[in-house]
Amino acid sequence: MRHHHLAAAVVVLALAGCSATGSDGAGGSAEPSLGAVPTMLRTTDVSFPLDAYETTLAQQRTLGRAQNVLIGRCMTRLGFAYQAPEPPAVPTTGVNARVYGVADPETASRYGYANPPEPNAAAQAGAAKPPTPAEELALGGRKDLKPGDLPATLEEAEKAGGSDGTLNGQKVPVGGCSRESFLKLYARKANEVDILFVFNLKGEAESKAREDSRVRAVDKSWSACMAKAGYTVHNPMRAPHELSLGDSELGGPRGITAAKADVRCKQRTNLVGVHYAVTTAYQRQLIEQHAETLSLAKEQVDGRLRLAAALTH
């Protein structure tokens, strides 16, 4: 989705456990070969192999607008005017910007572990008028519905013919207009790939990467570097938690000082480069294992985007 060039030279790390041939991982399973490991730090625009099978942040906003159009049409059918909320603005930083925690020296120096503010974030609108009980029913269906009561696909919903409730002479969809709009956009037929399929594969790759000997080795090196700076931390992804930094301290003097040391240690150990290389290797393995399903998922994503474009233009 995002084809950004990594602005870092590619070198082979001369660290134990970072060989190009791979090694035996936990449980005796073979760890994937890495080849050349990039020397890198900033992750603002970094992308992973599985990103190609998901929507970009901008595309997600388009899909959100399309779903609002579908909700509006359904609400009109039931006799209600519906003012759709505007989807959140697209963040200026990439979706993977904090995938390995704070990794930018300038950001660490200015904000510490706190997230930088989004300059393009839309101002919060005033409080909306509370919906009436009838509007709530139209939008979300009966409140006593359980997940198992909801239709899994549009085909299933159309076969059922709606709920036993009516508004203005029209049957209310099971789950209301929100569910109907979701099914029309994301689950039209039974062969739709679960929209969380790629997300779950990414989680699987991350779990495998955390147990990889090369990641464990570089994490240990990072921890030793942080110890020399006066910090007792072991997990670079949970450094603020291990340092017992409260929300108000993340961007304060203590958080900034610790974050600067964190980034320096990531740079000295090439933690980001090793994590990136290992995670990428596991993602590529999963892409090979699930090639057919991923191809279908990509086709369905493209179809949703075509539908969304037609609804929003």
Is residue 65 one of the residues assigned to a domain? yes
The neighbouring-strand residues paired with 171 are 166
Is residue 86 one of the residues assigned to a domain? yes
Average per-residue pLDDT in the chain?
88
Better-scored residue on pLDDT, 84 or 137? 137
Q: 187 is written with which tokens?
A: 């689950």
Is residue 161 one of the residues assigned to a domain? yes
Is residue 20 one of the residues assigned to a domain? no
Is residue 303 one of the residues assigned to a domain? yes
Per-residue pLDDT reduced to its tens digit, 210-265: 999 999 999 999 999 999 999 999 999 999 999 999 999 999 999 999 999 999 99
- Per-residue pLDDT, 204: 98
Better-scored residue on pLDDT, 228 or 162? 228
Mean local confidence (pLDDT), 15-37: 60
The CA distances from residue 12 to 15, 22, 38, in Å, are: 9, 13, 7
Is residue 16 one of the residues assigned to a domain? no
Mean local confidence (pLDDT), 94-114: 94
- Per-residue pLDDT, 1: 36
pLDDT at 9 over 80: no
Number of domains in the chain: 1
- Per-residue pLDDT, 254: 97
Is residue 8 one of the residues assigned to a domain? no
**Residue-wise DSSP of 78-93:** TT----PPPPPPPPSS
pLDDT at 11 over 50: no
- How crowded is residue 291: how many other Cβ atoms within 10 Å of its Cβ? 10
**CA 40 to CA 140: how far, in whole Å?**
46
Better-scored residue on pLDDT, 23 or 265? 265
pLDDT at 15 over 70: no
- 8 A C-beta contact, residue 279 and residue 209: yes
pLDDT-derived band at 16 (thresholds 50, 70, 90) equals very low
**CA 128 to CA 230: how far, in whole Å?**
50
- Per-residue pLDDT, 93: 73
Pairing of strands 10-11, 170-171: unpaired
Burial of 183 (0-12, 13-18, 19+ CB in 10 A): buried
Which candidate, 91, 312, 48, 71, places its Cα nearest to that of 198? 48
**CA 13 to CA 221: how far, in whole Å?**
13
Q: Compute φ and ψ for 281, nearest 5 degrees.
A: -65, -40
Say what percent of the chain tops pLDDT 90. Answer: 75
Q: Which structural domain range is residue 61 located in?
A: 35-312
- Per-residue pLDDT, 10: 30
* pTM score, whole prediction: 0.81
Is residue 73 one of the residues assigned to a domain? yes
- Per-residue pLDDT, 87: 73
- Per-residue pLDDT, 120: 54
- Per-residue pLDDT, 162: 87
Per-residue pLDDT reduced to its tens digit, 42-91: 999 899 999 999 999 899 999 999 999 999 999 999 999 998 887 777 77
Which candidate, 256, 278, 232, 287, places its Cα nearest to that of 40? 278
C-alpha torsion 58→62→68→74, nearest 10? -150
**CA 267 to CA 274: how far, in whole Å?**
11
- 8 A C-beta contact, residue 185 and residue 63: yes
**Residue-wise DSSP of the chain:** ---PPP-S-EE----TT--TT--B-GGGPBPPP--SEE-----TT---GGGGGS--HHHHHHHHHHHHHHHHHHHHHTT----PPPPPPPPSS-TTTTBTB---HHHHHHHTTSPPP-TTPPPPPPPPPPPPHHHHHHHH--TT--GGGS-SSHHHHHHHTS-S-EETTEEPPTTHHHHHHHHHHH-SSTTPPPTTHHHHHHHHHHHHHHH-HHHHHHHHHHHHHHHHTT-----GGGHHHHTT--GGGTTSHHHHHHHHHHHHHHHHHTHHHHHHHHHHHHHHHHHHHTHHHHHHHHHHHHHHHHHHHHHH-
pLDDT at 148 over 50: yes
